[in-house]
Amino acid sequence: MAVLIRKPMSWPAVRPYLPGVLISAVVTVAATSLADHYHAPVMLFALLLGMALNFLSQEASSAIGIEFSAKQVLRLGVALLGLRITGAQVVALGWQSVAMIVLAVALTIVCGILLARLMGFQMFFGLLTGGAVAICGASAALALSAAMPQHPMKERATLFTVIGVSTLSTLAMVLYPMIAKFLALTSVQAGAFLGGTIHDVAQVVGAGYSISHEAGDAATLIKLMRVAMLLPVIALAAWLSQRHQRAQGETSTGPRPPLLPWFAVAFAVLVAINSTGWLPAVVVKAGQTASQWCLVMAMAAIGMKTHLRDVLTVGWKPIALMVLETVFLAVLFYGMLVWLQP
């Protein structure tokens, strides 16, 4: 939380950040408008527009602000995700649903790590893709990336994961309601299946309410519980990062970093505060909107820092990895749904 309580920066200190931050904000507005008009994932538009403006990250006047947007604005957006969750929502699910979600998230991440290692990738890439598929799509990818150690390929891996998970989530939004109908699931079961398997929140809501209001409510509630799993997974990523850095001999002469980064602590605090019901609805709504804008803005900045050729040369293995993780989660959750909630 130290970042949140630092002394306010003076104008001379803030001024160098403004060009890059304002450019990222303009791209965010454009991406949001396009997403609303074409009913497509806003993260993809932010990425594409950001990549089209890649040259700006090489300009001295805007580079520092773009870097700030890609890191600090991202972390603020992750922290504000805590306003989407309340303790009452978790209690309303019941222990069976909670157990299903926890197990599905944990096993999907383990599956992602194992598959990544088998394919010759680092463990952290499996954690990144598995976490994105298991929890909440692009938002989880950005959150986990912020908690992972620095690496020359980190931003490229994050960019690919966001593109992949957004594309798969859109396909799932179209296909999974048809699969639920084919499997003869009830409205509640169909909603639980959609909420437990589709990656991004927006696509879960769209798919759920396309079936029925009852299915939409169930899908949204299950999905929010998956979002709540972001906190322990961020803690895991931070712990593994510290362990990796020690193994690589990357010791620091400063104070030992905390197990949880400040944005994860802020996430937990906001969940606790939101659970009390003290916050006015307008404040909660404003925080949720701010979170979305921060995440889109960070995605635009990451796009500006990435070259298109880096994305085009990833090969088939990362694509296969994310598809296998997605299929694994769908089959696993359907099996648990039929077994625990016949």
pLDDT tens-digit map of 260-313: 678 878 888 998 999 898 899 999 999 999 998 998 898 888 888 876 666 666
- Residue 324: which pLDDT band, with cuts at 50, 70 and 90? very high
| Cα-based distances in Å from 322 to 23, 111, 158, 166, 205 | 31, 11, 13, 11, 22
pLDDT (0 to 100) of residue 5: 45
Query: How many domains, the chain?
Result: 1
Task: Give the model's pLDDT for residue 180.
Answer: 93
Whether 120 shows a pLDDT value over 70: the answer reads yes
Q: Is position 174 within any domain? A: yes
Does the pLDDT value for residue 257 go beyond 60?
A: no
Going by pLDDT thresholds of 50, 70 and 90, the confidence category of residue 150 is: confident
**231-258 average pLDDT score:** 73
Q: Structure tokens of 336?
A: 């648990």
The pLDDT of residue 237 is above 60: yes
What 3-state DSSP class applies to 250? Answer: coil
pLDDT at 10: 62
CA 322 to chain centre: 14
pLDDT band at 253 (very low <50, low <70, confident <90, very high): very low
- Of the chain, the percentage scoring pLDDT greater than 90 comes to 32
Secondary structure of residue 214 in the 3-state scheme: helix
Is 329 within a domain?
yes
The C-alpha R_g of the chain, in whole angstroms, comes to 20
Mean local confidence (pLDDT), 200-218: 83
> Is residue 31's pLDDT more than 80?
yes
- Exposure class string for 309-334: b at 16+ Cβ within 10 A, else e: eeeeeeeeebeebbebbbebbbebbb
Position with higher pLDDT, 247 vs 140:
140
Say what the pLDDT of residue 4 is: 44
- Would you say residue 145 lies in a domain? yes
Q: How confident is the model at residue 64 (pLDDT cuts 50, 70, 90)?
A: very high
For 48, 93, 153, 306, the CA distances from 160, given in Å and listed in that order, are 12, 33, 11, 10
Instruction: Specify the pLDDT at position 259.
Output: 57
> In the predicted model, is pLDDT for residue 3 greater than 50?
no
| Residue 252 belongs to some domain of the structure | no
Instruction: Assess if residue 1 is contained within a domain.
Output: no
The chain-wide mean pLDDT, for the chain, equals: 84
Residue 136 belongs to what domain range?
19-246+260-340
How far is residue 93's CA from residue 221's CA, in Å, rounded to a whole number?
8
Q: Is residue 14 part of a domain?
A: no
pLDDT reading at 136 higher than 80: yes
Does 3 reside within a domain? no
- Looking at residue 308, what is its pLDDT? 66
Higher pLDDT: 323 or 342? It is 323
> Which of these ranges, 108-112, 150-154, 291-295, has the smallest mean pLDDT?
150-154
In a domain, 119, yes or no: yes
Choice among 18-32, 157-171, 230-244, 307-321 with the minimum mean pLDDT:
307-321
